[in-house]
Amino acid sequence: MRDLPEHLAKLADTETYEIVFQGHLDARWAARLGVPSLTHEPDGTTILRGVAADQAALHGLLQRVRDLGLTLVSVARLPPTPSINPRRPK
């Protein structure tokens, strides 16, 4: 079996996102949206940071935000975090 091309392999992996929407939701909505936590900003927005999702899960989350009638402000893919265990020279 052949390996997937690099660009397709990357698409198959989960990515980390930051999703911002207008308004503040009660903290109990975090579990309902399937996210670790909600961060309320002073400008009246709520941020979902560190949402790890593949494309299907991301679209599902965005649909739940839409179904709540929330105004989506932005969705940004976050850069990968550096590896915790860097390779040691031999």
pLDDT at 90: 52
- How buried is 55 (Cβ within 10 angstroms: 0-12 exposed, 13-18 middle, 19+ buried)? exposed
Domain presence at residue 61? yes
Domain presence at residue 41? yes
Domain presence at residue 79? no
Count of domains observed in the chain: 1
Tell me the pLDDT tens digit for each residue of 21-38: 999 988 888 888 888 889
Domain presence at residue 39? yes
Distance, in Å, from the CA atom of 14 to the CA atom of 23, rounded to the nearest integer, reads 27
Q: Is the pLDDT of residue 69 over 90?
A: yes
Structural domain range at position 57: 14-71
